[in-house]
Amino acid sequence: MKVWIPIGLIAVLGLLLGLHQPSVAIVSQEPASALTSAIPEPRESAPLSEAPLSEAPPALPPAMQQAMTQVAAAYQINSQYPTYSIPLSSQQTELLQPNAGAHSVRDLNTVGLPGQLMIQLSAYRYRQEEPIEADIVLSGDDALFSQLSGLTLSVRDNNNAVLLMPQVQIQNNSSEQRLQTRFSSRDNWPSELNLVAELQLTDGSTLRQSAPFQVFTAVAEITGTGTPYVDDNELVIPVEIEKAAAGYYKLAASLHYADKKPLAYLQGKGRIGSSGTLELRVHGSLLYNLGGIQNLWIGNLQLRKMPEKPGPEVQWGFSRDDFYAVKNVDPSRFSPTPFQDEQTVSRLQFLQSLGSPGTHQ
Amino acid sequence: MLTIKIKMAITAVFLTAAALLSAQTQAQMAGKNVILVHGLQPAQLMRDNVTPQEVTSDGANYWSAFWSQYADDRLDWSSKSRLSADTAQRAYDKVMQWARTGFCNNGCVLVTHSTGDLVTRYMLDQQDVWTEAAGLQPLNILAVFDFAGAGGGSELAELALDVAGSDSWLTAPIRAAVNAWLGFTVTPEKLGVLRDLRPAVARQTAMAPNSVPRLRFVGGGSEYLGATGGFLPGTDDGVVSLHSSCGGNAVKAVDSCVAYRALDGKQTSVSAPDSLWYNHYPVLMGSKTHHGGTIGNQSGVLLSYVNNNLNPGVNVSFATQTTSSGWWLWKSTYNTVPGSDNQTMSNLVFNAVN
């Protein structure tokens, strides 16, 4: 017991010191000459205020310059690869799942209901006739479900007009009500739509939660890939496109190892007529150290027809298959030579100049 | 006599040109032309129509607190317009003008606020096609400085759509938050760009990676007396959650742009985006900087910074101010930008790069 008394005293003293923060010790600062001796407290000490604009600018903190230097260093790493062929990790979900459906979660406690409503769509963009699937989960306790008189689903346009009340499968248990639905779009639907879940309470009040999605008529079809070939320090993958509306297209895809782990994100662009080929290029610095002969894959293909002037919206193509094989890639034919591009260099120089006062061009 | 008049005219032209050049030099940042792209203007949503003159005057007023004095041009757009409609046309007209006059030949820097982040991303995604089709060179955009960027959308826009026209008592708290933000009761015909600002829509807009670096300056302060914060996931600046302003690649309730440092600079383990969009670099964070404060007159916030060189293989020395407070188990260490509380966030950024 006696042992705990000094420990308790030390703890109370430490707590007081920690809470009171009578002084702030500068552990390190660099360069010291740029800092004043009166370092302000790190938190909540200075009142928020509206500063007059006419004041002369204060001395510039070196940390700010260094922060800019670090941005330049990070950009330098990225700029070793062309943007049409960048490394891809499993965390870059926005590139690996480019057509991810809306995931809308609302905490109902904010409106006084003890629960949560979630809508998950299977995709964001659906081709005409493609099945549209969604899960809707209302979770909570008795206090929520005792007030609930209904949970309905509808497909609505941007004017809030109901286009469809899709059929649902309902699963109930004590803590949640789950609705699952699967339906197809209609020819006369607009491209922008909302799946709307509506809660009705026993007193007649309602709450809507919507999740957006789009339907499109495909303007082109990716049918396969041609034989890859090596051009300088790049692997060129020709992607074949048919049934196309003539115009300017942008193509994107992910490149994967044989086991489908992500390797690179690729982009290509060009003009095509009713059919044609767009090239995806893999920079050699992403391939040179893969070991022996590789069988790779490209997938998650996204084909956009880009308007050459505003007016028409971006239109979408689709891919016949989810993945296409890229066989017999020989890493020994590539080198680690970094990519170089005049404009990227000028961007890097600009960022570097931000961290080095007096070097602006 | 005629010769004298010609000489006087030529002199006048040169003087005018010199004056313009001088003004432009003063306006530039780091020696590059500066283009401003403003954010949402709720007052425009309220109007039946927004005239071109109003788009211009509202655009100018938007930046009056700080950045207007350093602007060489602006991309003004109407909040009543959808992104791919009138806003795209305005962006196209500007891109054509800049490309034809060589305005960005020496490099341009874009400064955006809030929804201007999304507008700029849309423009960058389209501009290579627009210029190529017109037989012009693409613009040389060196960098974009995004203050309180809403490129990942705002959940408030989602709420606005869901309660537009509703008079149910159940939606009253949501309507109160949306009213606090927009300043009026939202109806379906007053949604405009809010439809594009929903996170699920914004995160499907112009997502292709490009080589333009996006420098992010974010806040976690409260605005509208805290009425909106409860409806935004994680830490927010009153309008935009950090998942959006940091450039996070997914909607997530996070409390910092990086997992090793809180917004106030405290070294600690904190929730952060799992990954950032390509070429997005958080630079400064202010725990009490609110949405408007990032480009306005708010000062008194000691800002923290982000280490962007965590990738192995790069050796960059880094000057820091590391302070500690408390004692033993209660000791905390903070990494902040000294003196940043004596100026506004925008002023600090401008001074740092100029």
Tell me: do A203 and A244 sit in the same domain.
no
Residues of B whose CB is below 8 A from A310:
84-85, 88-89, 91-92
Tell me: do A289 and A257 sit in the same domain.
yes
pLDDT for B352 equals 83
Task: Answer whether residue A27 shows pLDDT above 70.
Answer: no
List alpha helices for A110-218, DSSP H. 142-145
Residues B211, B215: Cα–Cα separation, whole Å: 12
Tell me: do A132 and A207 sit in the same domain.
yes
Q: What percent of chain A has pLDDT over 70?
A: 82
Distance, CA of B209 to chain centre: 18
Final residue in a domain of this structure, among A212, A228, A248: A212
Final residue in a domain of this structure, among A162, A189, A212: A212
Residues 43-62 of B with CB under 8 A from A: none
Distance, CA of B139 to chain centre: 19
Tell me: do A202 and A308 sit in the same domain.
no
Q: What is the pLDDT along chain B (354 residues), one digit of tens a residue?
A: 444 444 444 444 443 444 344 444 457 888 899 999 999 999 999 999 999 999 999 999 999 999 999 999 999 999 999 999 999 999 999 999 999 999 999 999 999 999 999 999 999 999 999 999 999 999 999 999 999 999 999 999 999 999 998 999 999 999 999 999 999 999 998 999 999 999 999 999 999 999 999 999 999 998 888 899 999 999 999 999 999 999 999 999 999 999 999 999 999 999 999 999 999 999 999 999 999 999 999 999 999 999 876 443 333 322 345 666 666 566 788 989 988 999 999 999 998 887
Tell me: do A139 and A188 sit in the same domain.
yes
Q: Is residue A178 part of a domain?
A: yes
* B95 part of contact set with chain A, CB < 8 Å: no
Q: Looking at this protein, which amino acid is placed at residue B315?
A: N
From B207, B274, B195, B282, select the one nearest B245 (Cα to Cα).
B282
Q: Is residue A161 part of a domain?
A: yes
Q: What percent of chain A has pLDDT over 90?
A: 76
Give residue-wise pLDDT tens across range A150-181. Answer: 999 999 999 999 999 999 999 999 899 999 99
pLDDT for A202 equals 96
Give residue-wise pLDDT tens across range B220-262. Answer: 998 888 899 999 999 999 999 999 999 999 999 999 999 999 9
Tell me: do A149 and A248 sit in the same domain.
no
The pair of three-digit structure tokens given for residue B234, joined into one six-digit string: 């994680």
Burial status of residue B233 (CB atoms within 10 A of its CB: 0-12, 13-18, 19 or more): middle
Bridge partners (DSSP) listed for residue A135: A120, A180
Tell me: do A132 and A181 sit in the same domain.
yes
Which of A15, A160, A205 is opposite residue B168, by nearest beta carbon? A205
Tell me: do A150 and A181 sit in the same domain.
yes
Tell me: do A124 and A228 sit in the same domain.
no
How far is CA A229 from each of CA A29, A234, A281, B100, B313, rounded to the nearest angstrom? Answer: 54, 8, 10, 38, 31
Final residue in a domain of this structure, among A212, A243, A262: A212
Residues of B whose CB is below 8 A from A91:
249, 274-275
**Tally of domains within chain A:** 2
pLDDT for A83 equals 96
Which residue out of B309, B314, B333, B335 would a mutagenesis test of the A interface target, given it has the greatest number of A Cβ atoms within 10 Å? B309
A89 contacts B320? CB cut-off 8 A: no
With residues binned 3-state (H G I as helix, E B as strand, rest as coil), the percentages for chain B, rounded to 5, are 40, 15, 45
pLDDT for B1 equals 42
Give residue-wise pLDDT tens across range A191-206. Answer: 999 999 999 999 999 9
The pair of three-digit structure tokens given for residue A15, joined into one six-digit string: 């707590």
Q: Is residue A63 part of a domain?
A: no
Tell me: do A187 and A272 sit in the same domain.
no
Q: Is residue A357 part of a domain?
A: no
Residues 283-312 of B with CB under 8 A from A: 283-284, 287-288, 296-302, 305-309, 311
Q: State ipTM.
A: 0.88
Domain that holds residue A119: 103-212
What's the DSSP call for residue B258?
B
Tell me: do A208 and A257 sit in the same domain.
no
Asked if A108 contacts A200 with a C-beta cutoff of 8 angstroms, the reply is: no
Q: Looking at this protein, which amino acid is placed at residue B236?
A: D
Q: Is residue A1 part of a domain?
A: no
Output the domain CATH number for residue A143.
Answer: 2.60.40.10
Residues B230, B243: Cα–Cα separation, whole Å: 15
pLDDT for A62 equals 76
Q: Is residue A134 part of a domain?
A: yes
Q: Is residue A65 part of a domain?
A: no
Tell me: do A121 and A202 sit in the same domain.
yes
Rounded CA Rg of chain A:
29
Q: Hey, CA dihedral for B111, B115, B121, B124, is it positive or negative?
A: negative
Q: Is residue A91 part of a domain?
A: no
